[in-house]
Structure 1
Amino acid sequence: MEIIVHQKLKWKFFYKIVFLFSLPIVANACKPEGLNNLCDLKSDDFVPTVILQTATASGSYHCGYKLVDVPPFGYRYTQFRFYLNFPVSILPEFETNSSYAIEGNLPSGLSFDQVTGEIKGTTLSVTAPTNVRITRNSPGFATVDLTLQVAEPSATFVYGQYGSLTCGAAYNIGSCSGSSNPNNQNLSSPTGVVTDSDGGVYIAGVNRIQYFPPNTNQSTFVYGQFGNFNCDIANNNQSCGGGGTSAGNLSSVRGITLDRENGLYATDLGNHRILYFPNSSNVPARIYGQTSYTTAITGLSDTAFNAPRAVALSPEGGLYVAEAFNIRIVYFPPGSTTATRVYGQVDFSTSVSNTSETRFTGPFGMAVDSKGGLYVADSPSHRVLYFPVGSTTATRVYGQSNFTTNTLSIASATALNNPTWIALDQSENLYVSDSGNNRVVVFPKSTQTAGHTAVAVFGQYNNLSCAVSNNVGGCTGGSVNPASLFAPSSITFNRQGQLYINDQNNHRILVF
């Protein structure tokens, strides 16, 4: 009994001491007093609970008391898919030098930094999905579980060719037979691809956009053709005949993207407008570039377009639009249809072509990094530019040795030939659809201004000096196969890190 009483007094003294040190991190109280109330300052359980909450939470509240601000802990994704012999750099979403530990085995070639929490290296072997647990010990205690996988850079799934990875027929109607008859399983010169948060896939092509549920190559929803999967005509008049512009039709659809609610932005190039469709609706709720759904007027201003062909979203939900004939990119704040920023021109009423860090000759696809920086494929200048967040002056150039050259060179690790679309993987490595070289090249994450060198390639059997269409190995052009490409265009990644490549002239979308 004496020992028990002594221990109680000892713990009460300890709680009082800790409580005195905890006072600066709390505010006011909440529930009625009582020894069984964890929110009561007089309760023996109050201070231990505060200590536990402080160690495990970030900016959290206990009984109305504001706790010490502890940086959140987590990575942008919980599932990561890497490709063999590709660079990897995975950092916590909120970068803080700390004390980290890892449980489990990383794929061969990767290492873990216990100070930054970074997983980095170059993958050396194919690895089945592997689970690891990462612990942050300070500031604050927290854990996160990740799944890592390393795959071959060869396609395992295809859209548009009835499941065949060796067929490249337009409007395939089965048995690799091309036709002029669209249906819900075929494609013809697809132009855009994007995946939603549930694993569904949207594919744009000619005058329609099809939605494919997860893990199936048959679409169940179509935009631009009034629900008719057997029609792919410009400005459909609801009877699969050409007509005037309306809210329900499309003309030469190009780039597409999705917001966080899976709302769809569609680039309707032929009608000089961008349409926004709420999730699961084929009726647009917003229009950019036109004053009504029945007009298709070109213009050069902060509210008008001339042949828009690509869209991208900023982290806060603002919209970037790349225009072919106005030779610019315009930015719209969230919810606004009036642009507030222009890239490539000095103002909203100018349209000049040039090669520099502030001009374009033909902006195409775009990608936005986690910090809000903007990558742009300037196709006729055979380069990709990077603009820091909020700036209209580029600070990096890929494909050229400086900002004023636009040289077309033979295929190499440093040269590009009419790049069209770009994407960032989970490590924020830059993937460039190098259409003129029939390949997709990978540049590692970097902050250097110029002199970027690609380290990996899709479509050319790891040969960065080859540019043949439908390479069958040995830099020999031949037949369509799971690793070949023919004028690739749009590219994207799903949340699990799988790469989707629009193999445009093979009339298919490949999943790697």
Structure 2
Amino acid sequence: MRYIHTDGGRPRYFYSDISVLNSSQIQILHHIFRHVNIPANAKWKQNGVTIAGGNGDGNTVDQLSSPYGLFVDDDQTVVIADYRNHRIVQWKNGNTTNGQVVAGDKVKGSGLHQLNFPTDVLIDNETDSLIICDYVNRRVVRWSRRSGTTKGEILINNINCYGLSMDEQRYLYVSDDGKHEVRRYQLGEKNGTLVVGGNGQGDGLNQLNEPTYLFVDRQQTVYVSDGNNIRVMKWNTGAKEGIVVAGGQGEGSALTHLYRPLGLFVDALGTLYVADHGNDRVMRWPQGDTKQGAVIVGGNGYGAEANQFSNPWGLSFDRHGNLYVADTNNNRVQRFSIE
């Protein structure tokens, strides 16, 4: 079952991306922000502030069209996979008026200067570049962040790439929602090493059903959004099967359920933050409690008010602990300030 986004209504299928937080530092992909502490009982303001988009569905520099995965750099620059605009856009901290196109052309395509429904993006500071899941083109591409860059280069071909992550050794992890697996690559490597799944499509603990976004922590533990199984899985290094850390009980709106989990975030205490996409809320699940979570923002129905979402998608945090959410059907990114 593939993701389908309908122009006139709500998306039919939903997926997630993942980040991990240390109690004394936030780690978003391979960035480490020191001296940041998010307590287990932290609270965020319930009204979000629009920091990107929010001006309707469109392709001008002040608009987004279905933002998917996002990445917050250490200077609070937000980089967004602008899915239906076939581009990556960058919004600098303090400038909520206009973004800047940093990858992709004006139209979708398969040229090296083009993207075709990108789903995820990360920043590799070592090479000052963007690494992008170019989903419909079935490839992973890299674009330099240097001024004047007009095309990317192909890193991996022939892969149903949906989500990306990079560990501290700069190994790249890629989810393949066609093969129901996650592979690890050295940059420049084409085949990779299987690290999660690979046992066919299914709901067993050694299986995935269209994995999407993912994150790898400092111990190379892989967290995976297991889309069609309505659960979040954790695979320890070298494990032959995963552990269900949220969901897995079918779709629902009770605090014991998820309805298509999206953005994920796990802190050093094991607390899990989940963008519960179909329920239009973000939830927190304490470590060891896979039965029930608590709503931290949203949960006020499907809508466009400051305290509402219309299918939240990507999740990330800045170095201050503020929460960023890609509010997909509202074509905006919302920031919720930590209290």
Partner Cα distance (1:252, 1:333) in 2: 25
The equivalent residue for 2:279 is: 437
The answer as to 2:75 corresponding to 1:195 is no
SS of match in other structure, 2:312: coil
* Structure 1 residues 392 and 485, CA gap change in structure 2 (3 angstroms): farther
Distance apart, 1:153 and its partner CA: 3.5
The equivalent residue for 2:178 is: 325
Letter in 2 for 1:208: R
Partner Cα distance (2:257, 2:198) in 1: 26
- Name which of 164, 182, 195 aligns with 1:311: 164
Identity of aligned residues (%): 22
Q: Which whole-Å deviations, capped at 9, do the CAs of 1:376-435 have from their partners, x for residues lacking one?
A: 1111111110111343421333112xxxxxx42421222111223323357663222221
Q: Which has the higher helix share?
A: 1
Equivalent residues, number: 302
The equivalent residue for 2:54 is: 161
Q: Which whole-Å deviations, capped at 9, do the CAs of 1:37-58 have from their partners, x for residues lacking one?
A: xxxxxxxxxxxxxxxxxxxxxx
The equivalent residue for 1:483 is: 307
* Structure 1 residues 280 and 192, CA gap change in structure 2 (3 angstroms): farther
- In structure 1, runs of 5+ residues without a counterpart are 1-73, 83-87, 90-121, 124-149, 163-168, 172-181, 226-230, 236-244, 291-303, 347-351, 401-406, 462-467, 471-479
Please tell me whether the aligned partners of residues 378 and 420 of structure 1 are also in contact (alpha carbons under 8 angstroms): no
Distance apart, 1:488 and its partner CA: 1.1
The answer as to 2:230 corresponding to 1:382 is yes
The equivalent residue for 2:265 is: 423
Please tell me whether the aligned partners of residues 364 and 421 of structure 1 are also in contact (alpha carbons under 8 angstroms): no
Q: Which whole-Å deviations, capped at 9, do the CAs of 1:37-95 have from their partners, x for residues lacking one?
A: xxxxxxxxxxxxxxxxxxxxxxxxxxxxxxxxxxxxx943445375xxxxx25xxxxxx
Letter in 1 for 2:156: G
Distance apart, 1:314 and its partner CA: 1.8
* Structure 1 residues 198 and 426, CA gap change in structure 2 (3 angstroms): farther
The equivalent residue for 2:123 is: 258
* Structure 1 residues 285 and 409, CA gap change in structure 2 (3 angstroms): closer
Partner Cα distance (2:278, 2:36) in 1: 30
Q: Which whole-Å deviations, capped at 9, do the CAs of 1:201-234 have from their partners, x for residues lacking one?
A: 1111120111122221212343111xxxxx3x21
The two structures, once aligned, show a CA RMSD in angstroms of: 2.4
Please tell me whether the aligned partners of residues 369 and 424 of structure 1 are also in contact (alpha carbons under 8 angstroms): no
SS of match in other structure, 2:228: helix
Distance apart, 1:481 and its partner CA: 1.0
Partner Cα distance (1:420, 1:221) in 2: 25
Partner Cα distance (2:44, 2:66) in 1: 27
Partner Cα distance (1:426, 1:155) in 2: 25
Please tell me whether the aligned partners of residues 112 and 152 of structure 2 are also in contact (alpha carbons under 8 angstroms): no
Q: Which whole-Å deviations, capped at 9, do the CAs of 1:157-183 have from their partners, x for residues lacking one?
A: 331125xxxxxx312xxxxxxxxxx11
Letter in 1 for 2:232: V
Q: Which has the higher strand share?
A: 2
* Structure 1 residues 389 and 280, CA gap change in structure 2 (3 angstroms): farther
- Name which of 288, 305, 308 aligns with 2:155: 288
Alignment TM-score, normalising by the size of structure 2: 0.81
- In structure 2, runs of 5+ residues without a counterpart are 1-22, 26-32
Partner Cα distance (2:268, 2:92) in 1: 23
* Structure 1 residues 309 and 394, CA gap change in structure 2 (3 angstroms): same
